A and B are shown apart, each in its own frame.
Chain A
Amino acid sequence: MEMLDHLVTGFSAALTLQNVLFCLLGCLLGTLIGVLPGIGPIPTIALLLPITFGMDPLTAMIMLAGIYYGAQYGGSTTSILVNMPGEASSVITCIDGHQMAKQGRAGPALATAALGSLFAGCVGTLFIAAFAPPLSAFAQKFNSPDYFSLMVLGLVMAVVLAHGSVIKAVAMVLIGILLGLVGTDVNTGLARYTLGISGLWDGIEFLPIVLGMFGIVEVIRNLEKPAGERITISTKFRDLWPTRKDFREAWPAAVRGTALGSILGILPGGGAVLASFASYTMEKRLAKDPSRFGKGAIEGVAGPESANNAAAQTSFIPLLTLGLPSNAVMALIMGGLVIHGMQPGAAMMTAKPDLFWALVASMFIGNVMLVVINLPMLGIWVRLLGAPYRFMYPTILMLCVVGVYATTAEPFQIVMMVIFAAFGYVLLKFGCEPVPLVLGFILGPLMEVNLRRSLQISRGDPTIFFDRPISATLLAIAAGMILLAVLPSFRRTREEAFKE
């Protein structure tokens, strides 16, 4: 089998003692930052990414994989233990996971999440290995109009899957796009929307937005809650391992979740969120006794956790085949890869197949490492989360500042972070969910470039987007999603699903 040969080559390049050690370190740091309440995978990866800058590409890639899985698992841990999801895809895990923790079964819940994630991660990686190469051949047929329509679809998905009001989410996406356009126009070299501030010539940096709107705002919101409502952790932490009965109930759910997640993850714009919701709904439908859900059903942890990990894994496919990040985390990873001279996309697959297969191998290593390192250390993470919030929040704030400063070495970026924290705070008070803004921010400049090229090709005729079959199909799907979102029946399920 050709794929197997490639994998062996990838592993032999990736598996050195140094690489494995850095992967371990990445997993540890990722989990350590990721378990901090309110710090989801996005700020965690943003904070840790700079560590890999000085390394050789392969080591950096493997450490990145470790950080990625660590950050995600850290988020799940926080969801289960303190009922504080760091991001939308962990919301579902909170429902039954936190109930299990309250019943003193935090150990089995965390172990189930870890094992489910391992299984899902490995299957997802196989999925990438099997489908990315043929898909990249297909991706070479993509032209500017198709890219533009794909991005429209990605943003529509992000809107449909966001919490709360659809119309406000649309506004968030558009504001994100506008923010993404700040800086020097690639086409004319003209400074746009910089207000004469030289720090904005290169555009608005990603890190201050993410850390300000997600990290700092979360701290403020936690401090606002009266002392009693603040995070409390169930101190009952008896045994770690799931019982045989747990296993019997959990593994079919994990397998179903993995299958669902692997497929949904390929979709642009928030596949992981969709996957965990879909998996939860499916498990509830399939269960003999649906009333157990919401009261600590282990399937409600195993299914969605596997689904969102499988999806998080297969969301690498659009990045690796089209060079298009389908969510904020992928955009960060892409940034990390580009710094090491790897421009993800169809070209990377054909020009540097070695790197692609080494990347796939590092995903496997990262997944395994995560479980190896985390299961024995669960007790430590639990104790860490037990620390009083008055010690935790200055640590989070300090990490945000030093993280921004260490990457950019400009005090101006810290001012930007404060501005975005204030902006994010106001948005939340007005009932606007800021996640779609981030995706708009990333895709905005790419959309403009592709729109410009498309209209140049068609001499200003917008029907080009409907004439090309790929583009037309993507737009039709996007239109369908919008229709679904406005339909009353779907809206009801959506509201139910987001009810925390």
Chain B
Amino acid sequence: MIRIRSPQDLGAGLLFLAIGGAGVLIGQDLAFGTARRMGPGFFPTIISALIMLIGVLVALRGIAIAGPPLERTPVRPLVMVLLSVLALGLLLTEIGLFPAALVFVLVAAHARRRPAIVETLVFGLLMTAAIVALFIFGLSKPLPLFGGA
């Protein structure tokens, strides 16, 4: 049984391997050409191969040499923050800046445990007003306030 001495390095190594591997694989569809006449696949394939090489080295190092353990990864902030941003971005054009911003503030507030709902709502309204003022009136950006674009 192989003991993992540095999970951070092993993780990084495997991630690099995957990225480099994908780069080489997708690059197969592109003409490689020769050094004299580089095809569109030439440079990216070489770069991807190098990423894979480093991936192998780092992964091996993760097995051989001790390193720091993985940090603990609380799910709530990660998921709620990403979700709120995604929601705001996708709803912006569907239901308008104002309601989208409210949805966003409510979801983002849950990145913390037990947010105060009233405070969040009041703050959300204030912030929405500020952003609306800045972008629609200040910079005349074509963002719909209510409703789809």
Question: Could you jot down 10 A-B contacts, CB within 8 Å?
Answer: A185-B30, A188-B40, A220-B111, A223-B112, A397-B104, A400-B85, A401-B88, A427-B15, A430-B9, A448-B38
CA distance A177 to B23 in the complex (A): 11
User: In the complex, which residue of chain A has the Cβ closest to the Cβ of B89?
Assistant: A414
Shortest distance from the beta carbon of B3 to any chain A beta carbon, whole Å: 19
In the complex, whether A479 has a CB less than 8 A from a CB of chain B is: no
CB contact between A220 and one of B11, B39, B81 (< 8 Å): that residue: B81
Contact B77 A451 (CB under 8 A): no
- A401 contacts which chain B residues (CB < 8 A)? 85, 88-89, 92, 104
Shortest distance from the beta carbon of B36 to any chain A beta carbon, whole Å: 3
Contact B48 A178 (CB under 8 A): yes
B residues 3-41 with Cβ under 8 Å of A?
8-9, 11-12, 15-16, 19, 23, 26-27, 30-31, 34-41
Contact A394 B104 (CB under 8 A): yes
Shortest distance from the beta carbon of A226 to any chain B beta carbon, whole Å: 10
Shortest distance from the beta carbon of A15 to any chain B beta carbon, whole Å: 25
Contact A397 B89 (CB under 8 A): no
A residues 372-412 with Cβ under 8 Å of B?
390-391, 393-395, 397-398, 400-402, 404-406, 409, 411
Shortest distance from the beta carbon of A97 to any chain B beta carbon, whole Å: 27
Contact B84 A397 (CB under 8 A): yes
CA distance A174 to B43 in the complex (A): 11
In the complex, whether A135 has a CB less than 8 A from a CB of chain B is: no
In the complex, whether A421 has a CB less than 8 A from a CB of chain B is: yes
Shortest distance from the beta carbon of A412 to any chain B beta carbon, whole Å: 9
Contact B112 A417 (CB under 8 A): no
In the complex, whether B95 has a CB less than 8 A from a CB of chain A is: no
CA distance A400 to B77 in the complex (A): 17
Known contacts A401-B88, A417-B85, A431-B8; is-contact A394 B36 (Cβ 8 Å): no
Instruction: Report which B residues bind A (CB closer than 8 A).
Output: 8-9, 11-12, 15-16, 19, 23, 26-27, 30-31, 34-44, 47-48, 50-51, 54-55, 57-58, 61, 67-68, 70-71, 73-74, 77-78, 81-82, 84-86, 88-90, 92-93, 101, 104-105, 108-109, 111-112, 115, 123-124, 127, 131, 135, 139, 141-143
- B26 contacts which chain A residues (CB < 8 A)? 193, 195
Contact B108 A393 (CB under 8 A): yes
In the complex, whether A499 has a CB less than 8 A from a CB of chain B is: no
Contact B92 A411 (CB under 8 A): yes
Shortest distance from the beta carbon of B129 to any chain A beta carbon, whole Å: 12
In the complex, whether A8 has a CB less than 8 A from a CB of chain B is: no
Contact B15 A181 (CB under 8 A): no
The 5 closest A-B pairs by CB, nearest first: A414-B89, A460-B36, A223-B77, A460-B35, A430-B12
Contact A452 B54 (CB under 8 A): no
User: In the complex, which residue of chain B has the Cβ closest to the Cβ of A189?
Assistant: B40
Contact B141 A178 (CB under 8 A): no
Contact B131 A178 (CB under 8 A): no
CA distance A429 to B71 in the complex (A): 6
Known contacts A411-B90, A414-B88, A417-B85; is-contact A394 B105 (Cβ 8 Å): yes
CA distance A395 to B131 in the complex (A): 9
User: In the complex, which residue of chain B has the Cβ closest to the Cβ of A422?
Assistant: B82
CB contact between A429 and one of B8, B35, B67 (< 8 Å): that residue: B8
Contact B30 A459 (CB under 8 A): no
- B89 contacts which chain A residues (CB < 8 A)? 401, 404-405, 411, 414-415, 417-418
- A426 contacts which chain B residues (CB < 8 A)? 15
- A483 contacts which chain B residues (CB < 8 A)? none
Contact A398 B54 (CB under 8 A): no
Shortest distance from the beta carbon of B103 to any chain A beta carbon, whole Å: 12
User: In the complex, which residue of chain B has the Cβ closest to the Cβ of A391?
Assistant: B123
Contact B85 A216 (CB under 8 A): yes
- B93 contacts which chain A residues (CB < 8 A)? 411
CA distance A426 to B70 in the complex (A): 11
Known contacts A224-B74, A224-B77, A429-B73; is-contact A418 B86 (Cβ 8 Å): yes
Q: Of A50, A193, A219, A398, which is in contact with the most chain B CB atoms at under 10 Å from its CB?
A: A398
Shortest distance from the beta carbon of B39 to any chain A beta carbon, whole Å: 8
CB contact between A178 and one of B23, B36, B123 (< 8 Å): that residue: B23
Contact B51 A178 (CB under 8 A): yes
Shortest distance from the beta carbon of B37 to any chain A beta carbon, whole Å: 7
Shortest distance from the beta carbon of A395 to any chain B beta carbon, whole Å: 6
Shortest distance from the beta carbon of A207 to any chain B beta carbon, whole Å: 13
In the complex, whether A18 has a CB less than 8 A from a CB of chain B is: no
Known contacts A192-B30, A456-B36, A462-B35; is-contact A406 B135 (Cβ 8 Å): yes
A residues 191-237 with Cβ under 8 Å of B?
192-193, 195, 216, 219-220, 223-224
Shortest distance from the beta carbon of A239 to any chain B beta carbon, whole Å: 32
In the complex, whether A359 has a CB less than 8 A from a CB of chain B is: no
CB contact between B68 and one of A220, A409, A431 (< 8 Å): that residue: A431
Contact A192 B16 (CB under 8 A): no
In the complex, whether A338 has a CB less than 8 A from a CB of chain B is: no
Contact A406 B143 (CB under 8 A): yes
Contact A395 B40 (CB under 8 A): no
User: In the complex, which residue of chain B has the Cβ closest to the Cβ of A181?
Assistant: B44
- B77 contacts which chain A residues (CB < 8 A)? 220, 223-224
In the complex, whether A484 has a CB less than 8 A from a CB of chain B is: no
Contact B44 A192 (CB under 8 A): yes
With A168-B12, A431-B9 known, 10 other A-B pairs at CB within 8 A are A178-B44, A190-B30, A192-B30, A390-B115, A398-B88, A401-B89, A401-B104, A418-B82, A418-B85, A418-B86
- A170 contacts which chain B residues (CB < 8 A)? 54
Contact B86 A216 (CB under 8 A): no
CB contact between B85 and one of A171, A409, A414, A461 (< 8 Å): that residue: A414
CA distance A400 to B15 in the complex (A): 27
Contact A448 B43 (CB under 8 A): yes
